[in-house]
Amino acid sequence: EAQVTQNPRYLITVTGKKLTVTCSQNMNHEYMSWYRQDPGLGLRQIYYSMNVEVTDKGDVPEGYKVSRKEKRNFPLILESPSPNQTSLYFCASSSPGVYNSPLHFGNGTRLTVT
Amino acid sequence: AQTVTQSQPEMSVQEAETVTLSCTYDTSENNYYLFWYKQPPSRQMILVIRQEAYKQQNATENRFSVNFQKAAKSFSLKISDSQLGDTAMYFCAFKGAGKSTFGDGTTLTVKP
């Protein structure tokens, strides 16, 4: 089954404790991206990657890191999480021909930083 | 940078009736796509419909259709014969050169 898999679904952590949210897709998509969703603010792009070893900042990259060492994986790293990073996070991917393909989303990760 | 605006935070409609969700956007790009996504309470993001900016014909998918006005930078979603399962948050999205920008969403409630 074609899918984007995010783990974990729920995560509660404390300020300053490094964490990684994993994202993997099995559709051979070149494009992958991370978003955060906050009430009243829609989805805001954190980072995106057009291909392996190519990453770019989105609209809200501060406090986040990403890497794209393999086509299928695009982990999101929070080196020192803070309470303002409490949010719902989505990973998404799309097929080559960036413009005309929709995003395929993971099921989301609910992160709480205390 | 592009912006996407959904001016209706909440809407409601009676079952079987028609409702239109508004979306406007701003961009200097010529080559882009527009999408509507649905997010039910399960929080999954589901593609509803897409529109190619260079096509004048409005996209249609069963009960869902769009009114795309390129000059006005408007991209509204019409849902006909609304069903209870259409209750969800709907996001308008712009996809250009690499980045995707989403509106803040419209919460639609279909009432029995």
pLDDT per position as a tens digit, B51-95: 988 888 899 999 999 999 999 999 999 999 999 999 999 999 998
Torsion on CA atoms A54, A56, A61, A63, rounded to nearest 10:
30
Give the one of B93, B100, B104 whose C-beta lies nearest to A40's C-beta. Answer: B104
Indicate the pLDDT class of residue A4, thresholds 50, 70 and 90: very high
Is a pLDDT exceeding 60 seen at residue A98? Answer: no
- Suggest the residue from B35, B99, B107 to mutate for an interface test with chain A (most A CBs closer than 10 A): B99
Gap between the Cα atoms of A58 and B65, Å rounded:
30
Indicate the pLDDT class of residue B1, thresholds 50, 70 and 90: confident
Provide the H-helix boundaries in A41-86: none
Q: Contact at 8 Å (CB) between A110 and A10?
A: yes
Residues near A63 by beta carbon (within 8 Å), at least 6 away in sequence: A78, A79, A80, A81, A82, A85
Nearest to A36 by CA among A84, A94, A2, A69: A84
Q: Where are the beta strands (DSSP E) in chain B?
A: 3-5, 10-14, 19-21, 24-26, 33-39, 46-52, 60-61, 64-69, 74-79, 88-95, 100-102, 106-111
- Contact across the interface for A103 and B35, Cβ inside 8 Å: yes
More confident residue, A96 or A60: A60
Is a pLDDT exceeding 70 seen at residue A99? Answer: no
State the average pLDDT over residues B91-111.
90
Q: What angle do CA B78, B83, B85 make, to 5 degrees?
A: 105
Indicate the pLDDT class of residue B29, thresholds 50, 70 and 90: confident
Q: What is the pLDDT of residue B97?
A: 72
H or E element, residue A36:
strand A31-38
- Between strands B106-111 and B10-14, the pairing is parallel
Q: What is the pLDDT of residue A72?
A: 97
Model confidence pLDDT, tens digit, residues A14-36: 999 999 999 999 999 999 999 99
CB of B102 within 8 Å of any CB in chain A?
A: yes
Is a pLDDT exceeding 70 seen at residue A75? Answer: yes
Q: Which of A 4-43 lie inside 8 A of B, CB atoms?
A: 31, 33, 35, 40-43
Q: What is the pLDDT of residue B100?
A: 83
Q: What is the pLDDT of residue B23?
A: 98
Is a pLDDT exceeding 60 seen at residue A43? Answer: yes
Q: Contact at 8 Å (CB) between A85 and A78?
A: yes
Q: Which of A 44-103 lie inside 8 A of B, CB atoms?
A: 44-45, 48, 50, 56, 58-59, 88, 90, 92, 98-100, 102-103
